[in-house]
Structure 1
Amino acid sequence: MPSSIARPAALAVAGLIIILPLSAVSCSAAQKALDCGTTAARVTGDIADVTSAYSNASNDSATAGKALQKLKNDLDQLGRNSKNTDVVKAVNDLKTQADKVQQAVDKKEVPDLKPLGDAAGNLTSVCTG
């Protein structure tokens, strides 16, 4: 399961390699590429941390809780700093999924991480589309 969640975030980084040279075309494209680059770098690490907390035998909810809080803090900052409405919407969708994972962690349940990975994939689509 970890690879299915980390893959969309990794694809976002790979997509940025393609987007960044094209970003010189317009300020809007440059801003979107910058927003997505920052987002991809932070979110990739944060989601990997959440996934890692649930891919070991102990299902470490304390570590997952810390990783989720870091993810949400990073997403809050990125949402405030982004000028692109599509990026902001994708970030907000990802925050919603992080909140759902947090609710499961708070209830001492093993969360379904697929929607979190799907939301990261949506962010990738926004960034590369």
Structure 2
Amino acid sequence: MDTTMGASRRRGRLAAVATVVTAAAFTTALTGCGSVDKTLDCVQTADTIADSVTDLQQAVEDAAHDPGRADAALDSIETQLRRIGDKTDSTDVNQAVDDLDRAVGRVRTALRNGDRTPDVGPVTDAAGELTKVCTT
């Protein structure tokens, strides 16, 4: 597959995730109650993670120029995952957090092993799943 086409598809998936997150955040903000506050926090954190995933994709594409940028994006995702994991008792959210954490770990391992273009698709997919469970 053409790398430009793959990058375009990844950006498209992230745009879709960002759209869902934004819509859910708006809808959730309008309803206002205790469990909604948790949902809103989950949605906002998922939105931050989506931004970090975008940063990760760009960092992987530019790894030759700035190899540390990918690590910073991975660190950001992991920080946000801890934030969600510490605040939820939802089995679905915790599973999505665990899946995303594993995907991030695989990318980090690939980078440490010298792979300058690791597959970030599983990270994107897991971030989309997290967004989905945060908004249901």
| TM range, smaller chain | 0.7 to 0.9
Measured after TM superposition, the shift of residue 128 of structure 1 is 2.2
Farther-moved stretch of structure 1 (66-75 vs 50-59): 50-59
After superposition, the Cα gap between the structure-2 partners of 1:8 and 1:93, relative to the gap in structure 1 and judged at 3 Å, is farther
1:1-129 to structure 2, matched below 5 A, reads: 1=7, 2-10=10-18, 11-22=20-31, 24=32, 26-37=33-44, 39-56=45-62, 58=64, 60-109=66-115, 110-129=117-136
2:40 counterpart letter in structure 1: A
Q: Unpaired segments of 5 or more residues in structure 2?
A: 1-6
| Cα gap change, 1:98 to 1:84, in 2 (>3 Å) | same
- Displaced runs of 4 or more, over 4 A: none
Partner of 2:4: none
C-alpha deviation, 1:74, in angstroms: 2.1
- TM-score, normalised on structure 1? 0.81
Distance 1:120 1:19, change over 3 A: same
**Retained in 1: the 8 A contact 2:39–2:135?**
no
Higher relative contact order, chain-length normalized (CA < 8 Å, sep 6+) = 1
Residue 42 of structure 1 and its aligned partner are, at CA, apart by 2.1
Instruction: Determine helix, strand or coil for the equivalent of 1:62.
Output: helix
Cα displacement (A) at 1:12 = 1.6
Query: Which segments of 5 or more consecutive residues in structure 1 lack a partner in the other structure?
Result: none
Tell me how large the CA RMSD over aligned residues is. Answer: 2.2
Q: What TM-score does the superposition give when structure 2 sets the normalisation length? A: 0.77
Q: What letter matches 2:23 in structure 1?
A: A
C-alpha distance in 2, partners of 1:120/1:59?
26
Aligned length: 126
